[in-house]
A and B are shown apart, each in its own frame.
Chain A
Amino acid sequence: MNPSLAVYQGMLRAGINFATSVPCVNLHELLALVGADPDIIHLPVTREEEGVGICAGAWMGGRRPALLMQNSGLGNSINALASLNILYGIPLLMIISHRGGRGEPVIGQVPMGRLTVPLLDAMTISHFEPSPAEAEETVAEAWSRACASCRPVAVLLDLEFWRG
């Protein structure tokens, strides 16, 4: 299955109806799908941390929010995830293009690429790394986990994932 479509189908299965995003080249197709969906309010934001705040407000107003970003944006969001989502118990689905791993052509992506899983583990944020074939089910399951635990969760999608 097309990797972007699989993630999108998972978001639909989870009932995601609100999204904020900062682009990554690998999210290009998914962002187009989300942007074209009239049932999803989609806000492109200026910085990932801003997206965390907007999603928290949307959840308080009854929406099911997702934040689409590159893993570099996880670094920009740490304090907000800890002192907003984790402090108050606010769920969030983070769909993360995980750069900086095997086959990464851009050296600047490597440091955050290596730190992404340790950062999530340090914050005890659950993370999932599906194949394209598993993505639909995993994304839906990740949102269920976020709701059940009242915490953010991350779906990490590396370079191999996007190759399909």
Chain B
Amino acid sequence: MLRIEAIALAAQAAEAQNALLICNIGYPSRELFSVKDRRENFYMLGSMGLASSIGLGLALARPERKVMVLDGDGSVLMNLGTLATIAHHAPENYLLVILDNCCYGSTGSQPTCTHLGTDLFALAKAAGVKKVSLVERAEDLALALLGHDVVIIVKVEEGNAPVPIISLSPEDIIVRFIRCAQPVLPSGKSRL
């Protein structure tokens, strides 16, 4: 499966579930922006490694709202402690989807350790995450996105889709996202 195909399936599931979607820096955000831009998408432009953490804080703040995170193998390897934190503190509305292409796809496809056999499924399990799935086919991903996993690892092919850069400023991204993400105040107005 191409990564952009996996992203399209995740974006479709996020829309169907009215989920807030945090997306990793680089080509994954560009691909998501290109296949399904929504105000509920938060595109990371920096802080590599923190997609899963941003999503976790959001899910704890909004327990009634589904929060989905699109992360990568290189990014998760950079913040491996996140799996332990997620195992013990993630609420039920949280889902981390790790798109594992075995390389740093946005910087020239340099191999990561998953290319050499590091097993993110086993790492998530060993960290204490109880509900973990590993999928390789699109139909299995579509099914897993409907289930109750905390972490889904998706094996995807190396390579980036020829998509343009995101035409939104950081301020644009966060202002429209927060209007969706924050609870509506009793006055009917959001905080922004």
Interface residues of A (CB under 8 A from B): 18, 20, 41, 43, 45-47, 49-63, 65, 79-80, 82-84, 87-90
Task: Tell me the nearest residue of chain B to A47, going by C-beta.
Answer: B81
Please classify the interface of chain A as helix (H, G, I), strand (E, B), loop, or mixed, using the class held by over half of its residues. Answer: helix
Q: Could you tell me the distance in whole angstroms from the C-beta of A151 to the nearest C-beta in chain B?
A: 13
Q: Is B27's beta carbon under 8 Å from chain A?
A: no
* Most chain B C-beta atoms within 10 Å of own C-beta, residue among A47, A65, A90: A47
Q: Could you tell me the distance in whole angstroms from the C-beta of B175 to the nearest C-beta in chain A?
A: 9
Judge whether A83 and B58 touch: CB under 8 Å. Answer: no
Q: Which of B51, B173, B181 contacts A61 (CB 8 A)?
A: B181
Residues of A contacting B46 in the complex (Cβ-Cβ under 8 angstroms): 79, 82-84, 87
Judge whether A60 and B177 touch: CB under 8 Å. Answer: yes
Q: Is B139's beta carbon under 8 Å from chain A?
A: no
Q: Could you tell me the distance in whole angstroms from the C-beta of B189 to the nearest C-beta in chain A?
A: 13
- Per the CB 8 Å criterion, the residue count for chain B at the interface is 37
Q: Using known A-B contacts A18-B61, A83-B45, determine if residue A53 contacts B54 with beta carbons closer than 8 Å.
A: yes
Bound Cα distance from A61 to B59, whole angstroms? 8
Q: Is B47's beta carbon under 8 Å from chain A?
A: yes
Bound Cα distance from A43 to B61, whole angstroms? 12
Judge whether B61 and A62 touch: CB under 8 Å. Answer: yes
Task: Tell me the nearest residue of chain A to B190, going by C-beta.
Answer: A62
Judge whether A57 and B22 touch: CB under 8 Å. Answer: yes
What are 29 residue pairs bridging A and B, where the CB atoms are less than 8 Å apart in the complex?
A18-B61, A20-B57, A41-B60, A43-B56, A46-B81, A50-B50, A50-B79, A50-B82, A53-B47, A54-B54, A55-B57, A56-B50, A57-B22, A57-B53, A57-B61, A59-B57, A60-B177, A62-B61, A62-B181, A62-B182, A63-B57, A63-B61, A65-B57, A79-B47, A80-B47, A83-B45, A83-B47, A87-B170, A90-B174
Judge whether B50 and A49 touch: CB under 8 Å. Answer: yes
Q: Is B125's beta carbon under 8 Å from chain A?
A: no
Q: Could you tell me the distance in whole angstroms from the C-beta of A22 to the nearest C-beta in chain B?
A: 10
Judge whether A45 and B81 touch: CB under 8 Å. Answer: yes
Judge whether B45 and A43 touch: CB under 8 Å. Answer: no
Judge whether A60 and B50 touch: CB under 8 Å. Answer: no
Q: Could you tell me the distance in whole angstroms from the C-beta of A40 to the nearest C-beta in chain B?
A: 11
Residues of A contacting B49 in the complex (Cβ-Cβ under 8 angstroms): 49, 53
